[in-house]
Amino acid sequence: MTVDYTASAPGKVNLHLGVGEARPDGYHELSTVFQAVDRREVVVLAAHPERPAVASGSVVARLETTFRVTRPTEDIDTPRNLAWRAVDAAVEAYRRLAPAPAPLPPVDLAVDKSVFVAGGMAGGSADAAAALVAAAAYVEDFTGFRLDDTALLREAAALGADVPFCLQGGTALGSGRGDELCEMMSRGEYWWVFINPMVALPTGETFACLDDMRHGDASLVPHMGTTRLAQALVTGDPRRVAAALHNDLEPAAVALRPQLRRLLDVAGSRGLKAIVSGSGPTVALLCEDALSAINTRDEIYDQYDEFEAVFAKGPVEGAVVQ
């Protein structure tokens, strides 16, 4: 008999992404505004108390992912998967912090993916955030030891720069690597269409390309200020928010994948404003309202076989056990 723990966490869009200089740790200094959207990743942790308990090493026996978006060509159901690593991280935190850690029953993981894979929407980070809170519930049930929010945030930051935001959700200003968060006031709801151009665009390549482009183009300066966007978010007016959207990485993403220019034009003609989401390649289109977003998604599907499109609204809550 299994004991199941189900949790979900949101994908994200960067309303603003300012990219500063490269840091000694290899990351860039960021000034970014995240918004969590209701394309949620769902993780089910199934514990097996009838099997021999695990005292050291990974408690994860297997991982299986169900895709509601395009399946990648590579196998992601491995110990390198962020959901698997997040469970391991939570268990290791318990073993490190508990006075007398006890063995834990092995678990199977199931991930239900609704966010594009490697698309700049933090799908993997959402998997990690959901797995962290599911694993914390599992640890507490079987041992009585509670991993508090501070411990979970510490593990989240170690897993990846976007994971802390996927834990928190809402709308937040991210600094440092993007993992130092400050909640931002935001009124209203915002409707998006996310369009996947079905091309690969590794994050590291995009940042490196921006660095190279800045050497030859003095106009590509870091945009680290977020005041205009913060003022727009307080109004709840999607038109004002659209006017304030910005992504320093967009020129680099377009330079690396020129087909994104066409996609930005196609999307931008159908809504308030289109930008590259995060490091790409997904394009995020802010729409006037829900009906506009739904109609635009349908138009994209009807007219462009080479694109994959979904709609979503934000802001929404972060990772939760269901």
| CA-CA-CA-CA torsion sign (49, 53, 58, 61) | negative
User: Rounded CA gap, 265 and 283, in Å?
Assistant: 10
Helix (H) or strand (E) holding 143: helix 123-143
Give the residue numbers annotated as catalytic, written as ranges.
12, 162
Say how far apart CA 282 and CA 72 lie, in whole Å: 15
Pairing of strands 283-287, 308-314: unpaired
Question: Other CB atoms closer than 10 Å to residue 72's CB: what's the count?
Answer: 14
Pairing of strands 3-22, 28-47: antiparallel
Phi and psi (nearest 5°) for 193? -115, 125
At residue 97, the 3 state secondary structure works out as helix
Whether the ω angle into residue 281 lies within 30 degrees of 0, i.e. cis, is yes
Q: How many CA atoms lie within 13 A of 207 on its CB side?
A: 18
Q: Which residues contact 150 (CB under 8 A, 6 or more apart)?
A: none
Q: Where in 265-315 does DSSP place strands (E)? A: 273-276, 283-287, 308-314
Beta partners for 14? Answer: 34
- Those residues whose C-beta lies under 8 Å from the C-beta of residue 263, and which sit 6 or more positions away, are 195, 197, 274, 283, 307
CB of 106 closer than 8 Å to CB of 51: yes
